Amino acid sequence: MKKTVRDVEVRGKRVLTRCDFNVPMEDGKITNDTRIRAALPTIKYLMENGAKVILMSHLGRPKGEPDHKYSLEPVARRLAELLEHKVVFAQSDVVVDDEVRDAVGVMAEGDVMLLENTRFREEETHNAPNFTQELASLGDLFVNDAFGTAHRAHCSTAGVADFMPAVSGFLIEKEIKFLGEAVEDPARPFVAIMGGAKVSDKILLVEQMMKKVDTVIIGGGMAYTFYKAMGLEIGKSILDEDGIELAASLMKQAEEKGVQLLLPLDTVCADEFSNDAKTCVVDRDAIPADMMGMDIGPKSVEAFGKVIREAGTVVWNGPMGVFEMDNFAAGTKQVAQAVADCQGVTVIGGGDSAAAVEKFGFADQMTHISTGGGASLEFLEGKKLPGVEVLEDK
Ligand code: ADP
Ligand code: MG
């Protein structure tokens, strides 16, 4: 168990807090402030308990130099509105300079400051000691609340913990609780649903899950590489050439371990990668050579749904089809419905899977939707996340 802000004294301390304020922007306007809202509980807790709250985040991908279209200034303004409290924006192209240090020096308990985009400094993503030390000079305690970057060892996500005690905020606490419990101590049957585009992206995850689950369901673009390994015609479906052997080996591993591995029974095919394509639904051994598989078919939905509804724990990573196109969204939508119907613990990890669950309106019926994307994938794969590892144990 990692310590959280509740486990340490924050009063009077300069609390350097890493948030995920990497919000979508258009023409300098924030188009979705979900991530800012998600950070409020930790920030409010710190304010109410008398901390001097110094917030850090990255935004977008400035190329290691100041680029004002990625300034966090709009975030500071939005944050102030949401908090109904003043937020000092520490404008500086180098993130930390004498003026910023002076501004921190005059902070009172309960004050909030937001530093400029940490990726204005090229050292940030290299976890370089000089920038780490500059950031660290501003704080007495490090709070990491940015799960989405926890799989990266950057100055602001991990480095600063070398210089001060480090604990988690409420968002990271929730992520490691739900993702961790789901895989470490699952209620059974434990079902993993895997999908997405490429096998090689998810190979480690499937292997890792295979050690723990009772059933692995494979859908989405990954399925065609498995079909190929089975010797089936896959037409123009997405294929991961390098993954064919891996797929074969995974099927063998499943058999040896007594893990049920379910592949789609049927598939929705299209003559081109477009929502307006000509389509047909065929069994998996009848994919026309000139068409491509875009979604799982109704027989698959039925078979998968039955297993999912009876699960004690479900971990889902990767959509069942090209859900961004309405004509190929049904498989993902119906699997999401089955996960929503499941009475067990249901955890969604993966950016596109989370987006699909939101889009189809099932978000509030899931136990936990990870905000992590790549970080949740690495966590589920059993990898150590630098931004979590640096936090103190209870
Ligand atoms: P996640 O973000 O949940 O981990 P991925 O990024 O691995 O998921 O995969 C999501 C992508 O996979 C989506 O953009 C979706 O369109 C694509 N995909 C799913 N099924 C297919 C398919 N049959 N052919 C091509 N792409 C697919
Ligand atoms: Mg994705």
| Pocket of ligand 1 contains residue 352 by CB under 6 Å | yes
Atom of ligand 1 nearest to the CA of 219: 20
So what's the pLDDT on residue 125? Answer: 97
CA of 112 to the centre of ligand 2 (A): 33
- Counting beta carbons within 10 angstroms of the beta carbon of residue 9, is it exposed (0 to 12), middle (13 to 18) or buried (19 or more)? exposed
Q: How far is it, in rounded angstroms, from Cα 143 to Cα 161?
A: 9
Positions marked catalytic:
35, 198, 351, 374
Residue type, 95: V
Ligand 1 neighbourhood includes 334 CB (under 6 angstroms): no
Sorted by where each starts, the structural domains of the chain and their CATH numbers stand as 5-171 (3.40.50.1260), 186-380 (3.40.50.1260)
Ligand 2 geometric centre to CA of 351 (Å): 5
The DSSP element (H or E) to which 295 belongs, if any, is strand 292-296
Give pLDDT, residue 203.
Answer: 80
pLDDT of residue 373: 82
User: Ligand 1 pocket check: which of 236, 325, 352 to mutate, most ligand atoms within 8 Å of Cβ?
Assistant: 352
The ligand with the least distance to the CA atom of 321 is: 1
Residue 352 Cα to ligand 2 midpoint, Å, equals 5
Of 273, 263, 209, nearest to 235 (Cα)?
A: 273
Instruction: Determine if ligand 1 sits within 6 Å of the CB of residue 350.
Output: yes
Report mean pLDDT in 10-residue bins for the chain, 394 residues.
97 98 93 93 98 97 93 98 98 97 98 98 97 98 96 97 98 93 90 89 86 95 96 97 92 96 98 98 98 98 98 96 97 98 94 92 95 87 93 96
Quick one: how far is CA 32 from the chain centroid? 17
* Distance between CA atoms of residues 119 and 280, nearest Å: 47
Say if residue 392 is exposed, middle or buried (CB neighbours under 10 Å; 0-12, 13-18, 19+).
Answer: middle
- Whether 197 is in the pocket of ligand 1, judged by its Cβ within 6 Å, is yes
> Is the CB of 159 within 6 Å of ligand 1?
no
Counts of helices then strands in the chain (DSSP H, E): 13, 17
Both tokens of 110, joined, read 């309960």
Give the distance (Å) from ligand 1 centre to CA of residue 32.
Answer: 23
Longest dimension (CA), the chain: 72
Ligand 1 atom with minimal separation from the 223 CA:
23
CA-closest candidate to residue 222, choices 251, 200, 250, 205: 200
Task: Report the pLDDT value the prediction gives residue 73, as an integer from 0 to 100.
Answer: 97
Task: Give the Å distance between the CA of 98 and the centre of ligand 2.
Answer: 40
Q: Which ligand is nearest to the CA of 317?
A: 1
Res 377: pLDDT: 86
Ligand 1 near 33 CB (within 6 A): no
Q: Cα angle at 359 between 357 and 362, to 5 degrees? A: 45
